[in-house]
């Protein structure tokens, strides 16, 4: 009998995605599949089109061309390119974080996580003030929202800071709070835009553990834009590489880090440029030598 837990099921299918801004092509004919309960990393040099891809998936932009199909584990399908952003988060259950932290700095840490669940609470209120004041279903939903918030605060080690103003937390803790806030919406797909930016190595290690927990214990699909290759190569099941808006490589971490096209993208075609340290540490020396030899022979 097939072990279904071992079967990869497509969660997000991106087909021929192109996004143009006037004459600038930020994404060009990009296709890939991100599976359910897997971490798919989107990497590439600055300006490669990673955030634009996220903006298309989450409804900030409508793609010029292409299809974005999200298939929930229960079989429900959503064509994201046809949906406005608020429906992508509310109905298709896609959550995201941004390159720049976007918490409600003046609210408490706990409030940030309860506010994230307002759709559930508003539904439970029966969409009325009377509901807010008295309905037992509202009180039950509110208490469940607080329980879920506490659960995620515990997971990101911020339970002791529940009453702090979110804006007063240290930077690394704010980054974790953003992920907890996204998880409080109970997404099927979590899109994280450079979650390790600005973290020290210990914090990056903790982030990697949190993301594998989200994948393994909650079976949530994670789409991860990240420049920190130590995090990407350690936790990703699948890596998609963009350069100048096009997909240049796609496979598991071992395949991608040995792919000469990827090494060339980071080195540049015709310069003696040094690889950035965080990339060089994770790309095998032998593959770099192959590229140098090929360039010398050319």
Ligand X SMILES: Nc1ncnc2c1ncn2[C@@H]1O[C@H](COP(=O)(O)OP(=O)(O)OP(=O)(O)O)[C@@H](O)[C@H]1O
Q: Distance of alpha carbon 116 from its chain centroid, rounded?
A: 17
Residue placing its CB nearer to ligand X in the complex, 38 or 193:
193
Residue placing its CB nearer to ligand X in the complex, 197 or 291:
197
Residue placing its CB nearer to ligand X in the complex, 42 or 179:
42
Residue placing its CB nearer to ligand X in the complex, 52 or 58:
52
The H or E element that residue 290 is part of is helix 285-297
Q: Supply 219's token pair.
A: 């079976």
Residue placing its CB nearer to ligand X in the complex, 49 or 63:
49
Residue placing its CB nearer to ligand X in the complex, 26 or 265:
26
Strands 238-243 and 39-43: parallel
Q: State the residues that interact with ligand X by CB under 6 A.
A: 21, 24, 26, 44, 46-52
CA distances (Å), origin 104, targets 5, 114, 158, 181: 38, 12, 16, 11
CB of 219 to ligand X, least distance (A): 27
Residue placing its CB nearer to ligand X in the complex, 122 or 197:
197
CA distance 207 to 120: 28
CA distance 239 to 241: 6
CB of 103 to ligand X, least distance (A): 20
| Residue 32 CB neighbour total at 10 angstroms | 18
CA distances (Å), origin 195, targets 19, 100, 168, 187: 24, 9, 19, 17
CB of 60 to ligand X, least distance (A): 9
CB of 9 to ligand X, least distance (A): 28
Put residue 221 in one of left, alpha, beta given phi > 0 → left and psi -120 to 50 → alpha. Answer: beta
Strands 246-251 and 238-243: antiparallel
Name the β-bridge partners of 225. Answer: 42, 193
CB of 229 to ligand X, least distance (A): 13
CB of 142 to ligand X, least distance (A): 38
Cβ proximity of 158 and 62 under 8 Å: no
Nearest CA among 193, 172, 171 for reference residue 182: 193
CB of 61 to ligand X, least distance (A): 7
CA distance 96 to 185: 10
């Amino acid at each position: 009998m097939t072990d279904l837990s071992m079967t990869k099921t497509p969660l997000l299918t991106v087909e021929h995605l192109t996004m143009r801004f006037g004459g600038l092509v930020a994404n060009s004919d990009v296709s890939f599949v991100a599976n359910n309960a897997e971490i798919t990393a989107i990497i590439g040099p600055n300006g490669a089109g990673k955030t634009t891809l996220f903006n298309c998936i989450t409804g900030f932009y409508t793609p010029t061309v292409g299809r974005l199909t999200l298939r929930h584990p229960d079989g429900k399908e959503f064509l994201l390119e046809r949906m406005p952003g608020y429906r992508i988060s509310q109905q298709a259950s896609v959550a995201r974080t941004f390159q720049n932290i976007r918490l409600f700095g003046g609210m408490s840490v706990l409030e940030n996580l309860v506010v994230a669940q307002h759709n559930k609470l508003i539904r439970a209120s029966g969409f009325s003030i009377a509901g807010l004041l008295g309905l037992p279903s509202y009180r039950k939903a509110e208490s469940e929202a607080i329980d879920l918030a506490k659960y995620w605060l515990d997971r990101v080690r911020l339970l002791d800071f529940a009453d702090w103003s979110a804006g007063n937390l240290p930077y690394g803790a704010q980054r974790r709070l953003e992920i907890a806030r996204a998880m409080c919406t109970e997404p099927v797909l979590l899109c994280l835009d450079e979650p390790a930016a600005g973290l020290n190595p210990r914090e990056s290690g903790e982030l990697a553990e949190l993301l594998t927990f989200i994948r393994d214990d909650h079976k949530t699909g994670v789409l991860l834009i990240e420049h920190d290759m130590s995090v990407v190569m350690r936790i990703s099941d699948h890596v998609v590489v963009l350069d100048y808006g096009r997909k240049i490589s796609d496979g598991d971490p071992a395949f991608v880090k040995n792919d000469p096209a990827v090494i060339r993208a980071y080195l540049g075609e015709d310069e003696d440029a040094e690889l950035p340290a965080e990339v060089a540490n994770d790309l095998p020396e032998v593959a770099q030598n192959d590229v140098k030899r090929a360039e010398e022979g050319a």
